[in-house]
Chain A
Amino acid sequence: MTDSNYDEIMQLLCDRLSSLTNSSAQISPETNLISQLSIDSIKLLNLIMEVEDAFDISIPINALADVQTVRELVDLVHKIKSAS
């Protein structure tokens, strides 16, 4: 998937995750949000609110149950954004 929307979402999420974790580690699509970035549930929920605002969409937090990696999060946001 290489459309500009997808790339825009990936870039935004990588930037925000990098700032949330204060980590110098490279964030890639396969990076695990919990085991590698130590994103706790509250941080993730607050990040979702930011993403909702950035793209003017609604992201149900129960959809996060299937999300473990950065790519899976981008896929979810892209799917919702494309359908809106």
Chain B
Amino acid sequence: MNLLEKIDAAAAARKALLPNGVGAFGIPIEEVYSATEAKIGDRRVLLLGTNNYLGLTFAPECIQAAHEAIDKEGTGTTGSRMANGSYFGHRALEKEFADFYQCSSSIVFTTGYQANLGTISGLVGPGDTVLIDGDSHASIYDGCILSGADIIRFKHNDVADMEKRLRRLGSRVETTLVIAEGIYSMLGDQAPLAEIVKLKNQYGCILLLDEAHSLGVLGETGQGLVEKTGLLQEVDFITGTFSKSLCSIGGFCVSNHPQLEQLRYISHPYIFTASPSPATIASTRAALELLRKGSHLRKQLWNNCTQLYSALKEAGYVLGPDPGPVIAAVVDTPQQALLLWQQLLEHNIYVNLILPPAAPEGKSLVRCSVNAAHTEDQIRYVGDTFAKLYSVISSHS
């Protein structure tokens, strides 16, 4: 089989899962009306498949900041910070992230994916070890692969399994980086951070926590799981993204280890890419300010999360263990998931379809992402529609 035939084989496998005409992945969105509504085909749909957790995509403060930045500094930086320099906004945002997390060092990356790629591949290398949760995001896996370090997985959120694997490493724990996530993107569950920190301290390894889905969502000021658990000072490196609660694109890493600064000179995903545009940085800075003082947004978000989680659970759906902004209905077969996804779209609700092997343990998921801008009526409609479809899905093999 030549290179192109291999791609054809992968395309055939995808087609077998999704009949012709079903565009569940990368669906065309014609217009975006607000943080909660858009036009798909000729339908006005409710958006439950975005990560706009605080509902800030149309926040006037962010839009105005982006406009001003374009007027003042143009549309792009046209190159890397290493070569083209660091604008005032890049440096200011890094200071603001360091301040937010009470850390001495902070680096801004061009995407959230690159934040994990750049941080992990900068921290570990050949001969080192990374111990990662089995359900880690692709950016974590790819960062580990790029690093050349030995990659060992532990069972998802299973601290006993993690300890077993740490013990097996023996003296290699000294050069081991453990990686977990604040909220996992598939089932929306949270890492058992207190137990992980206890093991990290017991074995003397380094801990990186990815707060991509928990930034803005957990903790009084929205720092994430580190704030909710009071363990900010126990985590060595925190990464995150701007593309969820902060409604732009980019990523960051913060730490009190001064060695983080050296990543600017050794991390290829930081060095060999164009830096974030002035508009992106400006809207992110404005959004971070809103996030920090957005306890009312978090309150509204959690009301919505609890309302939808309860409605789906009451309707009989199997869900992840924790209520939160990521609420995934787990169904038995890819065909059931596809039918549920299609039926929801017929009812003007857009959610995410996740089929094996993308979902953990061969599961098929229909995943909702709740945000603070959803109204009580919108959430009620989504819950009622899921409930109405339950019997249809259950009887479909």
Contact = CB atoms under 8 A, between A and B. Distances in A.
Contacts of B361: 42, 46
Contacts of B144: 62
Given A42-B356, A42-B357, A45-B134, A58 B164 contact: no
Interface residue tally on B, bucketed by range: 20 to 34
A52 interface: yes
A53 B362 CA distance: 21
Contacts of A41: 357
A49 B362 contact: no
Contact of B362 (A42, A48, A57, A63): A42
Nearest to B9: A35
Given A52-B168, A56-B168, A61 B152 contact: yes
B332 interface: no
Given A42-B356, A42-B357, A49-B134, A60 B168 contact: no
Interface in B347-371: 356-357, 360-362
Contacts of B134: 45-46, 49
A56 to B, nearest CB: 7
B151 interface: yes
A66 interface: no
Given A42-B356, A45-B134, A61-B152, A53 B169 contact: no
Interface residue tally on A, bucketed by range: 10 to 19
A62 B356 contact: no
B150 A62 contact: yes
A56 B168 CA distance: 7
B165 interface: yes
Contact of A49 (B145, B149, B151, B155): B155
Contacts of B356: 40, 42
Interface of B: 129, 134, 144-145, 148-153, 155, 164-165, 168-169, 356-357, 360-362
18 contacts: A40-B356, A40-B357, A42-B362, A43-B357, A48-B153, A49-B153, A49-B155, A52-B152, A52-B168, A56-B168, A58-B129, A58-B168, A59-B152, A60-B152, A61-B152, A61-B153, A62-B149, A62-B151
